[in-house]
Amino acid sequence: AGSQIQSTAGTPRRSSRRKSVAIAYEAGQDDGPEPQRPRWEPQHWREQLERIREMRRSRDAPVDEMGVQKCYDSNAPPQVMRYQVLLSLMLSSQTKDQVTSAAMLRLRRRGLSVDTVLHMDEETLGHLIYPVGFWRNKVKYIKQTTAILKQKYGGDIPSTVEELVQLPGVGPKMAHLAMGIAWNSVSGIAVDTHVHRISNRLQWVKKETKYPEETRVALEEWLPRELWREINWLLVGFGQQTCLPVHPRCSQCLNQDICPAAKRL
C-alpha cells in the first residue's frame, strides 16, 4: 500500500498531455512547449506559518516534552535507537504523548531491544505498554514486526517508506517520521490528526480532504520541501495547545484575522 501511495504522489499522470503537445508542435501549430501553469499555493500561508512559529516559540507543548523524538535512548547503539524510535511510533497511534512516553520508559527499563522483546511473552508486553490506545492489537503488531526485523533486517529497521509500511502496525505517518528521526532522511510530510485538521482549517489544501494521506499528498504538491520536516512538529504542538479539535482557542491565535475557519469574537 505504501509503495502505491509513494508512486501516486510522486508521478503525475501527464503522458497523454505530453503526447498531444508533441503532436501539435510537430505539425507547426505551436511555437514551442506549452507554458507551465503557476503552481497553486494557499493565500497568506507564509504569514500564517510565521505566526505559528511565533506561537510555538516556547516549545512547551506535550509533543515537545514527551513526543517520539524524546522517547528513545540517545545513548543506545544506532540500531537499538532506531528500533526504539519505531516502537514509540507504533505505540503513539491513537495515544496521548504522555501515555506513550510512560510506556516507553517502562519498556526501556527492561532494556528495550529487538532481542528483549522477542523473548518477552505477550502478557508481560501488554502490562508494560498499557494503557496505550488499542494496546492488545499493538502487542501483536510489535511481536510480529520485531520478528520480521530480526529475520529480514538483522535486527535493524528498514530504511525506506515502502518497506516500513509493510510492517504490521506501521502506517505512512509513522514511516515518514521514522525516516526523519531514525534515518535523518526527509521522505515526506508526516500527517497525523493535528496536521490533517489544521491544514483543512487554514485551507492549505486545494480542496477539502477527508483522510491524512490525502492531506499529505495535497501538502507535498505545493509546500517547499525544506519545510517538510518542520511542519509536523509545528502543527502538532499548535494543535495540542491552540487549534484544538473541539473549541479551538481562536481568540488566542495570532492567525485569527487571516484564518478562514477562525471564530472571530
Find out whether 218 and 206 touch, Cβ atoms under 8 Å: yes
DSSP three-state, residue 241: helix
Catalytic residue among 19, 150, 173, 263: 173
Residue 35 is classified by DSSP as P
Exposed, middle or buried by CB within 10 Å (0-12, 13-18, 19+), for 153? middle
Sign, CA dihedral 178-184-189-191, equals positive
Put residue 59 in one of left, alpha, beta given phi > 0 → left and psi -120 to 50 → alpha.
left
Q: What would the grid cell of residue 74 be?
A: 540517545
Q: Which amino acid is at 48?
A: Q
- Cα separation of 217 and 205, whole Å? 9
Nearest Cα to 160, choosing from 7, 54, 13, 50?
7
- Cα separation of 215 and 235, whole Å? 13
Residue 173 among the catalytic residues:
yes
∠ CA 3-196-102, rounded to 5°? 90
Q: How many residues does the chain have?
A: 265
Catalytic residue numbers read 173
